[in-house]
Amino acid sequence: ANAEGWTVNGDGEGPELRAVGGNTGGHICGKDKNAGDLWYFVAPGAFRGDVTQAYDLRMTWDLKQTRSTFQLKGRDVIIQGNGGTIVFNIKATPGTDWTSYAARLNATANSGWKLDEPGFPDASEAEIKNVFKNVSSLRIRGEFADADASACLDNVYFGVE
């Protein structure tokens, strides 16, 4: 068993594969090193490259964390590629039980994708498609609490109905 190529970066350690307790089955968890930075789950190669066929579909994922106090704001999903970066922020941080999320992968008014630049302007269809032509990194935030905490990730799908 393995973490299917997922890694952790920033102020995190792991990921640790847990064979049971996921939403359903196995899942991965990371832990805060308490060094002051946010940490992210970093997607494996299957989520990189040309993903333009995913435009207008959805990205879905499940998260849970060990703390629900001292919550931090941050860029929750970061996709980099082809010289651009887009970000998505969830409306509410995950609970201590599994919390499911979905993001429509398009530029409609309520999709929520922003450019990662001052003021976070809405990302246009052309800007999203440009990033999708050659995705080099997909990260999902794992640190939500300004305290010693862990977070777990499961069921990440990119380009689903």
pLDDT digits (tens, 9 = 90+) for 93-113: 999 999 999 999 999 978 999
- State residue 147's pLDDT score: 81
**Alpha carbon distances (Å) from 69 to 22, 92, 124:** 22, 12, 35
Decide if pLDDT at 157 tops 80.
Answer: yes
pLDDT tens for residues 70-96? Answer: 888 889 999 999 999 999 999 999 999
**Alpha carbon distances (Å) from 25 to 22, 66, 105, 126:** 5, 19, 27, 38
- State residue 49's pLDDT score: 97
Residue 156 CB-density burial (10 A; 0-12 exposed, 13-18 middle, 19+ buried): buried
Decide if pLDDT at 36 tops 80.
Answer: no
- State residue 70's pLDDT score: 83
- State residue 72's pLDDT score: 85
Decide if pLDDT at 119 tops 80.
Answer: yes
CB atoms within 10 A of CB 115: 18
Type and span of the H or E element at 32: strand 27-32
Cβ atoms 78, 89 nearer than 8 A: no
Type and span of the H or E element at 42: strand 39-42
Instruction: Return the residue matching tokens 């964390």.
Output: 65
- Of the pLDDT bands very low, low, confident and very high (cuts 50, 70, 90), residue 24 is confident
Mean of pLDDT values over 14-25: 90
CA distance 160 to 14: 27
- State residue 2's pLDDT score: 66
pLDDT tens for residues 40-73? Answer: 999 999 999 999 999 999 999 999 999 888 888 8
- State residue 95's pLDDT score: 94
- Of the pLDDT bands very low, low, confident and very high (cuts 50, 70, 90), residue 1 is very low
- State residue 73's pLDDT score: 85
**Alpha carbon distances (Å) from 125 to 3, 42, 60, 139:** 33, 24, 20, 20
